[in-house]
Amino acid sequence: MASTKRKIGAVLGRGTSATVKLAIFDGDHDEESIPTKLMAVKSAKSNYSSMLKRERQILEELDGCSQIVHCYGDDLSDNKYGKPVYSIFLEYAPSQSLFDWMKSSKSAFSESQVRRLTLSMLKGLVHIHSKGYVHCDIKPQNVLLWSSDEVKIIDFGWAKRSGLRSCGTSTIRGTLLYVAPEGPAQNVYEKPSDIWSLGCTVFEMLTGNPARWVPDNADMPMLLLQIGSGDLMRRIPETVSEEGKDFLRMCLLREPERRWTAGMLLNHPFVSSGSAAERPPLPPPPCILPPGERSCWTRCRRSY
């Protein structure tokens, strides 16, 4: 995409390699490539641009799924210091992430809403997996509320081709609170890993607490060993319905080959019977140019 005039607004998120800002495009842009004036611009300096280019390529291959954030294109321009900056143009979500919603409301979602939003997440995962990719960082921070029934999965910075292993690296793909045991234990990140992370996300939506707990002042090598052994997982509360408990069990099986696939989970009663439930209102969206930072686009790489 050619360089496009835009007015940069508030910071929406800031990560190690990229910054996401709100942008308003002028009226003379190509409406076919940029059909909306308001979007999020994710930018990286030249030394990190290869990661962002790879994310754009993945999003292009995943295009056509309403549960995945859309990428409109990219450009290369100079910042105010004359340094080259690579940017991609992303669909802007005026609402919150699942994490933001729970943090601001200081409560969990109702189970009826969890059923519908989980169904939407599963549709996105089915599409991602069908295209031969693993997201590797499914968590509440990377799932945006789009409506009472729909979500958008974002941040494909850790995504990888299924079957492609990272040899000779100790880097954890994703976030320790949500990573599957086979990640730290065997350096394996495949489609079942996304299912584990989905289970952790649904657990947190239902209870307001992470599925995995971490001792204070935990020693990192011991912590990784415990995660790889499947320890540190909280019990499913009795307040969760039997369908919800069974859904979580199918996601959080220790052996990855035993976990249900995203396609199988689409037919689980927890989501297949929840479409007629009452529709609670969504939280009001923030103003278009919010002051300060918001966390819905932040790549929250918490250690634990």
Domain boundary assignment for the chain? 6-91, 98-272
CATH of domain 6-91: 3.30.200.20
* Other beta carbons within 10 Å of 91: 18
Per residue of the chain (304 residues), give pLDDT as tens: 445 567 787 888 887 778 899 988 765 545 555 555 788 999 988 777 888 999 999 999 999 999 999 999 898 888 777 888 999 999 988 778 999 999 999 999 999 999 999 999 999 999 999 999 999 999 999 999 988 889 999 999 899 999 987 655 567 899 999 999 999 999 999 999 999 999 999 999 999 999 998 888 888 888 999 999 888 999 999 999 999 999 999 999 999 999 999 999 999 999 997 453 444 444 444 433 343 433 333 333 333 3
Domain 98-272 falls in which CATH fold? Transferase(Phosphotransferase); domain 1 (1.10.510)
Q: Tell me what pLDDT residue 188 has.
A: 95
- For the chain, the distance separating the N- and C-terminal CA atoms, rounded to the nearest angstrom, is 39
- In angstroms, the CA 226 to CA 173 distance is 17
Task: Please report, to the nearest 10 degrees, the dihedral formed by the alpha carbons of residues 78, 298, 188, 51 taken in order.
Answer: 0
Q: Tell me what pLDDT residue 242 has.
A: 97
Among 30, 75, 78, 137, the active-site one is 137
Which amino acid is it at 44?
Answer: A
Q: Three-class SS of residue 302?
A: coil
List, in sequence order, every residue forming a beta bridge with 89; answer none if it has no partner.
41, 73
Which amino acid is it at 64?
Answer: G
Active site residue 137: yes
Q: Tell me what pLDDT residue 4 has.
A: 57
- In angstroms, the CA 177 to CA 179 distance is 6
Predicted structure pTM score: 0.84
